[in-house]
Amino acid sequence: MIIKSESKQTTISKKVSLKGVGLHTGLEVEINFLPADINNGYTFRRIDLEGLPMIKADANLVTNTQRGTCLERNGVTIQTCEHVLAALVGLEIDNVVIELSTSEPPIMDGSSKYFIEALETAGTKEQEAYREVFVVKDVISYSDEETGSEITIIPSDEYQVTTMVDFGTKVLGTQNATLQHLSNFKKEISESRTFSFLHELEMLLENGLIKGGDLNNAIVYVDKPISTETMERLKIAFNKDSISVKPNGILDNLTLHSPNEAARHKLLDVIGDLALIGTRIQGKVIANKPGHFVNTQFAKKISKIIKMERRNNVPNIDLNQPPLMDVNAIMDMLPHRPPFLLLDKVYELSQNHVIGCKNVTMNESFFVGHFPGAPVMPGVLIIEAMAQTGGILVLNTVPDPENYLTFFMKMDNVKFKQKVVPGDTLIFNCTLITPIRRGICHMQGYAYANGKLCAEAELMAQITKVK
């Protein structure tokens, strides 16, 4: 389920930049991290293209996972985005714009280390909006029968990830890695570098797919004998006078940070790919033989579940129980009166949310003229009823609500999903998007009837003291 956490969203305090080479393109690239507004999430901006097109880090925009996670929208692509996204998640930064001077972030050393360092230099700042969290209540799984890969998430008190890898080779056998706390990402995971097997490297070189690689940004496991011809090709590709194989089966010039660095890097990839869900996660991820395809398919599955929950997240209230506020208590707070008082009861009220209801009856005044032969409640009045519910939320912040009036400032993203007819009971759920400041309330409202979402809107209102 989706909840508003007690913690607030964050962004970075200032712009910070890095330069490097793209692993697959071999092009020089500059990457800029910039502060972003609340609820922006992670977005990429191609500053090398006309119009500076932007691409949201969204699982539904994934088009290719062959050698990294690729996003595409309207013909504009972002390649190998997972290491950058993992760094942002690992530092618990919510909103950032990522500018690129080409399609691919710099590979740096093949890990998230340098992105972490740059972001820490920029610093973070708290924003005036609460974080949303997807709290896992049931087991969710995705498996790929062809590869035997499987990824599962189960309920947990925090975000945890475990990866289990088995490459079926002597040089790199079964490995496991676990991240118990996201706060340990920098220390335990961020320096883990990408890796490849020799047979994969030969194929990539033959197809011109690893132009920016060298022995400092990818661990190469030698899983087959190296011929003299292959050795010469590798020296040319990596611009080295000599190349040899270490006793532990990797090409030289690199020392492993940990014996299970491969499993840790797979964990890094999982975190980066699941960032494409676009919502913080509370649950334990268990990934067996993970890869970008299964990771992003799993992210798409969770994104779909979250979308459905947002649409059908009917508040669980007992309409037969005494309400927190009846219509008389509501009239003590709101200035509205029949026939324009459109809220009957309030069942929940906190600093961040309010839940109320309206019983729609045939004797409503608006049914006289609005489709009298087939009565349907006007959509604008559903939004007005939603706003009155939100008015209870904002007026609850002052000691003398009877001396205030509430006025609309803005309505955004208004959508109507289902008809509301006589006999329906409308349930309203309004939740703050940003904390109330100077009497201004910015909230997300949902209206439900018959167990279904019938309307939604983003509302902004302000209370003004009666002179």
Q: Are 395 and 333 in contact (CB under 8 A)?
A: yes
Q: Are strands 440-449 and 452-465 parallel, antiparallel or unpaired?
A: antiparallel
d(CA 55, CA 262): 30
63, two tokens: 């088009």
3-state secondary structure of 302: helix
d(CA 101, CA 103): 7
Of 24, 83, 292, 336, which one is the catalytic site residue? 292
List, in sequence order, every residue forming a beta bridge with 17; answer none if it has no partner: 32
Would residue 370 show up in a list of annotated catalytic residues for this protein? yes
Q: What are phi and psi of 441, to 5 degrees?
A: -115, 120
- What is the side-by-side strand order in the sheet with 54-56? 16-21, 28-35, 96-100, 42-46, 54-56
Would residue 181 show up in a list of annotated catalytic residues for this protein? no
Closest listed residue to residue 355, CA positions, set 411, 313, 414: 313
d(CA 145, CA 428): 43
d(CA 107, CA 415): 42
455: left (phi over 0), alpha (psi -120 to 50) or beta: beta
Strands (E), 76-230: 76-78, 96-100, 124-135, 140-144, 149-154, 160-166, 174-179, 195-197, 219-221
Torsion sign, CA atoms 168, 174, 178, 184? negative
Which amino acids are annotated catalytic? 292, 370
